[in-house]
Structure 1
Amino acid sequence: MAPMIEVKNVTRRFGGFVAVNDCSLSVEKGSITGLIGPNGAGKSTLFNMVAGNLEPSSGAIFLDGREITGLKPHQLFGRGLLRTFQIAHEFSRLTVLENLMMVPAGQPGENLFDAWFRGRKVREFERGVRERAEEVVDFLQIGHVQNELAGNLSGGQKKLVELGRTMMVDAKVVLLDEIAAGVNRTLLNDLASNIERLNRERGYTFFVIEHDMDLIGRLCDPVVVMAAGSVMMKGSLAEIQADERVVEAYFGGSPTGHATSLPGATA
């Protein structure tokens, strides 16, 4: 079975600077795979290439066995690859429910002819979209804010809405970019629980960039470590925490020459 995401010998240059260097990795179907590494390791650049925001200088990227190198985000959306952002991208003047209803593509109400002459078709489609949005609200347990303007929500609530937007289409894989940033621990626990449920109950594959090692430890197996633009290793978080090369990459080694724990790791 082909991996859900496969990156083969991908390099990205910015002038003379090589941000990602001959990088290869895979994200297996049905996994929650983490991507960690020190600042400047190339994680965000790699994520941007997988998401279609940047084109590789060389190499190839595959989604579910089909090459997607150079495809744009809207094209990847149509193939089931979605991304959430470190800073939520909500429609601030629409309600939570309306934000969810905006997601499905090809809505007949967007077509002037349908809007004028096929009102029944438009109403039936909108009814189905609303029902699905209400199901998402129930799943995420955010009914208390469904009629609130999205711009009035907290950072964590906005990220729950972003996660909900991925549920409005048939997502194959979701790229999660620093979901812990700016989120309090209570809402972060809610986010993590919903990610686990989507993975377990609906078969979502997740690819996660995150600096919060507690969250990585809870959600991700395996974990990929990047350093200097390339993959250093892949394994469980326990294996990674015990690897002196990883500690060297994060800390430059410890004064005693022995491995120390990664940020957020427990003894």
Structure 2
Amino acid sequence: MGSIIEVRQVNKAFGALQVINNCSIEVAKGSITGLIGPNGAGKSTLFNLIAGTFAPDTGQIIFDGEDITAIPSDQLFHRGLLRTFQIAQEFSHMTALENLMMVPPQAGESLLNTWLRPARVQQEEAQVRQKAMDVIEFIGLKHVRNELAGNLSGGQKKLLELGRTMMVDARVVLLDEIAAGVNRTLLQDLIRNIQRLNQELGYTFLVIEHDMDMIAQLCDPVIVLAQGSVMVQGTIEEIQQNEAVIEAYFGNDAH
């Protein structure tokens, strides 16, 4: 299927601290790729580089054949490359449904359009509302669509965040520790929704996660990052049996 994300020999330092060290990875189009590694391996920094939060010192980042190394995150967002925490936190005093409706730009956001094209504004609002209804049903939150988002559980908020990616027709979603703070029941809902978005809508995912059960259920391949560069890549079974990975995670406690 080819690669949709390519990181080519990227380096990033903060002062004297070299965080990403000549790192190269590829994410296949249509895959759910896991990115794991011990604390301090550079996973979140690599996500920030791919998402355009900041630029690498050297190297290239390619998105679907285009060099995006110097393109900021807001432009990448509108091209369909999203990082989950990059999307605004929930508006706690708005309903879950209203939170979804806030994501796509609408004609009504222009005062001139409100005055001169009221029919167009009403039509767009109706279309956005219907899409939000479809999304909230897809992610299994229809029963809380009118609940204030601030009252949702941590897991429901994560599902809502996943739903926001559907409001802008994402192509690649970078998921950073989405399982954190989510109970096991809602975690399975999250996993099912990620799989459905991948299989039914063709989303590509790159997933940072410490929950190895989630990685095992979702991800193939899995990339292991250590000291800012790729240590090994393979299936979760190959990763779990790799002595170098065990040593990196557990050190002397591994034996």
Question: Separation in 1 of the partners of 2:64 and 2:253?
Answer: 41
Structure 2: give runs of 5+ residues left out of the alignment.
none
Question: Separation in 1 of the partners of 2:74 and 2:212?
Answer: 31
Give percent identity, aligned residues only.
64
Amino acid at match of 2:58: S
Equivalence for 1:80 = 80
Matches within 5 A, 1:48-67: 48-67=48-67
Equivalence for 2:151 = 152
**CA offsets per residue over residues 177-220 of structure 1, 9 Å max, x none?**
10110100010110001001111111110000000000000000
Equivalence for 1:11 = 11
- The change in CA–CA distance for 1:213 and 1:118 in structure 2 (over 3 A counts) is same
Contact between 1:2 and 1:65, CA under 8 Å: does it hold in 2?
no
Question: Separation in 2 of the partners of 1:150 and 1:69?
Answer: 35
TM-score normalised over the length of structure 2: 0.97
Equivalence for 2:71 = 71
Contact between 1:88 and 1:159, CA under 8 Å: does it hold in 2?
no
Tell me whether 62-71 or 217-226 shows the greater mean CA deviation.
62-71
Contact between 2:246 and 2:254, CA under 8 Å: does it hold in 1?
no
Contact between 1:85 and 1:179, CA under 8 Å: does it hold in 2?
no
1:151, distance to aligned residue in structure 2 (A): 1.0
Question: Separation in 1 of the partners of 2:91 and 2:6?
Answer: 32
1:88, distance to aligned residue in structure 2 (A): 7.9
Question: Separation in 1 of the partners of 2:43 and 2:240?
Answer: 18
Amino acid at match of 2:50: V
Question: Separation in 1 of the partners of 2:47 and 2:134?
Answer: 30
- The change in CA–CA distance for 1:145 and 1:8 in structure 2 (over 3 A counts) is same
Structure 1: give runs of 5+ residues left out of the alignment.
257-267
Equivalences, count = 255
Amino acid at match of 1:63: F
Give the CA RMSD over aligned residues. Answer: 1.5
Amino acid at match of 1:241: Q
Report SS of the residue matched to 1:226.
Answer: strand
**CA offsets per residue over residues 34-60 of structure 1, 9 Å max, x none?**
000000001010011111112111111
Q: Which is richer in helix?
A: 2
**CA offsets per residue over residues 94-124 of structure 1, 9 Å max, x none?**
111111111112x110111111121000000
Equivalence for 2:190 = 191
Question: Separation in 1 of the partners of 2:159 and 2:74?
Answer: 21
Equivalence for 2:247 = 248
Question: Separation in 1 of the partners of 2:54 and 2:160?
Answer: 25
Question: Separation in 2 of the partners of 1:135 and 1:244?
Answer: 46
Amino acid at match of 1:248: E
**CA offsets per residue over residues 121-152 of structure 1, 9 Å max, x none?**
00000100001000001111211110111111
Matches within 5 A, 1:15-30: 15-30=15-30
Report SS of the residue matched to 1:59.
Answer: strand
- 1:32 and 2:23 matched: no
Report SS of the residue matched to 1:39.
Answer: coil
Question: Separation in 1 of the partners of 2:252 and 2:195?
Answer: 34
Report SS of the residue matched to 1:90.
Answer: coil
1:85, distance to aligned residue in structure 2 (A): 2.9
Question: Separation in 1 of the partners of 2:245 and 2:86?
Answer: 24
